[in-house]
């Protein structure tokens, strides 16, 4: 079962950017302790994975376009709700940093 939106957001460290534009392009390569999961995805120890189409998904389950798999294994190409949540989180993190300086 893939994580839902809340679980994805909880995995984003405070000091990490959630900008899709900052996700690096990845070429599939085998790494130590990598494995094929029950869905046929090649998964790395940090949780990032390549699906059967060789599309890379980062450790919180998003591809470079913001696509993700839902809890049923269906690829959601772009989730507007997630984009809005990420922007709100970025704004709130910046606001908290400003308030701490006061």
pLDDT of residue 19: 46
Q: Six-digit token pair at 45?
A: 């120890």
pLDDT in tens, 57-98: 998 888 887 788 888 888 888 767 777 788 888 899 999 999
Does position 48 have pLDDT exceeding 70, yes or no? yes
Q: Provide the token pair at 34.
A: 């990598």
How far apart CA 81 and CA 72 sit, in angstroms, is 18
Domain count, the chain: 1
What pTM did the predictor assign?
A: 0.52
Print the domain residue range for 64.
Answer: 5-101
- Residue 53, pLDDT > 60, answer yes
């Amino acid at each position: 079962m893939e994580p839902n939106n809340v679980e994805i957001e909880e995995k984003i460290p405070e000091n990490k950017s959630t900008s899709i534009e900052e996700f690096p392009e990845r070429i599939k390569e085998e790494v130590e302790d990598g494995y094929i999961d029950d869905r046929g995805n090649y998964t790395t120890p940090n949780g990032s994975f390549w699906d059967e189409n060789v599309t890379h998904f980062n450790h919180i389950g998003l591809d470079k376009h913001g696509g993700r798999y839902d809890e049923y294994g269906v690829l959601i190409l772009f989730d507007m709700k997630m984009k809005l949540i990420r922007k709100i989180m970025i704004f709130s993190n910046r606001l908290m940093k400003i308030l701490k300086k006061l």
